[in-house]
Amino acid sequence: MRERYFTLRAHLKHFLKDEPYDMKLEDLDTIWFCSRKNSKRIIRKLEEEGLLTYQPGRGRGKVSQLQYVTTFQNEIESYLAECAASGKLDNIAEILRLPIPKSWVDNSSKDIRELLGLKRDDSAFKDILHTFKARDIYSLDPLHVSVSLETHLIECLGDTLIRYNSEKDCFDPHIAHHFQVDSTKKIWTFYLRKSVYFHNGETVTSKDVAYTINRMKNSDHSYSWLTENINKVICSHPHKVEIQLFQPNPFFLRYLSAINFCILPADIEFDEFKWVATGPFRLKERKNQKIVLEANDSYFKERPLIDEIHFYRVTNDAAKTVYLSSEEKGENLQPNNHKIKDSGLRFLSFNMKRSSIVQKHTFREAIYHLFDVKKMAAELAWEVLESNSFEIENAEPQQKHPEKIIDLIKESGYKGEMLLLYHFDNYHAVIEAEWFKKEAKQYGIIIQLQQITFDQFSKEGMEDDIDLIIMGLTLSYDKHLAFSYAFRNKALLFNRLFNRTIETFIHENLTQFELEEEKDKRMKIMEEIEQYLKAEIALIYLYHPIVTRALDPTIQDVTSHSFGHIDFTKLWIPS
């Protein structure tokens, strides 16, 4: 009941005491996700507990009123202090998900910090990492995942037959201890390790590999292209699996190393809330607002040093107010800032299928010169690397000529029509889009912003009304697989915005890229595709984000993993 009460005051912004607030019962139905009957019941219960007074509206046009006996800020601060003292992080997270001023958390932030970070539970002999995440988890299904956090979590939960070795640019055996290809390069044979166990205790066999591949092959989801060249999967022995291709493909091992191919059990229907795979962590708990991973004691490789990870969903402001900490004296804490540079790419893309002014090359060129990353980074105090390519190794400032913008806009024939710019609903994306809208307005370009969520992102039809979109790609360590993935995966919205001419060029060259065995020649094809897109101004490379993660200085061996996240399997704290 306390949660209902806090939700009511936060969402309706009923912050003061002894102040009559007008209220409609339909607002309560929406906030509490319940029927009118239940809303009335809850209100009466809150009144009985002395938390508020309720004056129902009498007669036509008369609104109901609520009044409170304490200020909301005092209640929040007292409740947070109470929860921090008793170590109730779940209850704290409930408060930190509410739309309340972040200053209300300041008095308790030190106490909350002491509950976060990598903590040692001596009674259970466990090292537990408590951390916040600033958004919901949308999908942990390998067939649907297209966002970096979810992809990283699946890497913790599952394993593939082989793994890409970024240092040597080769593929290491993983669930398969050995693999080979025949002279035609169409028949790949994988020999499975013995005693690799799923989280439910069952042993991995070749039938599980076949099931995983066929599950993707028979799917109509965005990753089915990874299996298009697979003719059949033959399981001649429990620890031997043969994959036959229609055509030789040097890229095949890269496909199999993708986390979308993490091996799932054949005899259990997949349930992303009851994840069963072979990974270094098990899914111990998954609720809408919390996820708990626990170390897999039966893992066939090195067991994680940490025992559990608890992720709590809070608002972005709350996540920034308190960082990972386990030091007892929080007021003197100086967190270690770990910078992760290779965390992806931000870019702006145009809808080349929609009939609008963005079809004009001169207008797109004007936008290119208008979006000055150096200026944006300076004004927003962001640390970024200006990009000129998908590859961060090619990062360099682009030449911008703002003096050309006015003439280019005139030449394009732009008449002040409104353009719809899509962007994600997270904090940085909103700030970035608002900055661009302000810049465009100075040149008479009218931009309307449209926020989208991650689950909306992959839905077909989303592209119909888009004129422009700002989005990001978080890339795996295998840059060549990442490049292919970026353009093959139609779940990535920008891929559905190219016109037929551009689509044909990309498809033909990407096919050549994947069939090329020599790395240098593949890199040349990558460059040709990028140069073509830049010449067409089909998309504009913006920058590579530099992610800074503040961590408790007692945490050891903090290293980055793929997709711009920290490798949880390596974390530990000294005794």
Tell me the H-state helices in 49-205. Answer: 72-86, 89-96, 106-113, 148-157
Residue 438 makes CB contacts below 8 A (sequence gap 6+) with none
What is the tens place of the pLDDT at every residue in 131-174? 777 677 888 899 887 667 788 889 999 999 999 988 888 999 99
- Residue 358, pLDDT > 50, answer yes
- Per-residue pLDDT tens over the stretch 302-327: 998 888 888 888 776 665 554 433 33
Q: pLDDT tens digits for 208-266?
A: 999 999 999 988 766 778 899 999 999 999 999 999 999 999 899 999 999 899 999 99
The domain defined by 148-261 folds into Dipeptide-binding Protein; domain 1 (3.90.76)
CA 211, 212, 218, 220 torsion-angle sign = positive
The DSSP annotation for 354-367 comes to S-SGGGSHHHHHHH
Antiparallel, parallel or unpaired: β 187-192 and 176-181? antiparallel
Strands 187-192 and 240-245 turn out to be: antiparallel
Q: What is the model's pLDDT at position 339?
A: 58
pLDDT-based confidence at residue 342 (cuts at 50, 70, 90): low
pLDDT at residue 322, rounded to an integer:
47
Residue type for position 355? S
One-letter-per-residue 3-state SS of 157-176: HCCCCEEEECCCCEEEECCE
What is the rounded average pLDDT of the residues 49-53? 91
Cα–Cα distance measured from residue 262 to residue 272, given in angstroms and rounded to the nearest whole number? 13
Residue 62, pLDDT > 80, answer no
pTM for the model stands at: 0.77
- CA-to-CA distance for 563 and 159, rounded, in angstroms? 16
Q: Taking 50 as the threshold, does the pLDDT of residue 196 lie above it?
A: yes
Pairing of strands 162-165, 170-173: antiparallel
What gap in Å lies between CA 158 and CA 179, rounded to an integer? 20
Q: What is the CATH number of domain 345-545?
A: 3.10.105.10
Highest CATH level, class, for 2-70:
mainly alpha
501 φ/ψ sector (left φ>0, alpha ψ -120 to 50, else beta): alpha
Q: Parse the chain into domains and list their residue ranges.
A: 2-70, 75-134+280-339+549-570, 148-261, 345-545
Q: What are phi and psi of 125, to 5 degrees?
A: 55, 45
> Quick one: which H or E segment has residue 479?
helix 479-488
**Domain 75-134+280-339+549-570, what fold?**
D-Maltodextrin-Binding Protein; domain 2 (3.40.190)
The C-alpha atoms of residue 44 and residue 93 are separated, in whole angstroms, by: 26
b vs e for 543-558, b when ≥16 Cβ sit within 10 Å of the residue's Cβ? bbbebebbbbebbeeb
Distances, alpha carbon 441 to alpha carbons 318, 366, 421, in Å: 32, 13, 13
229 three-state secondary structure: coil
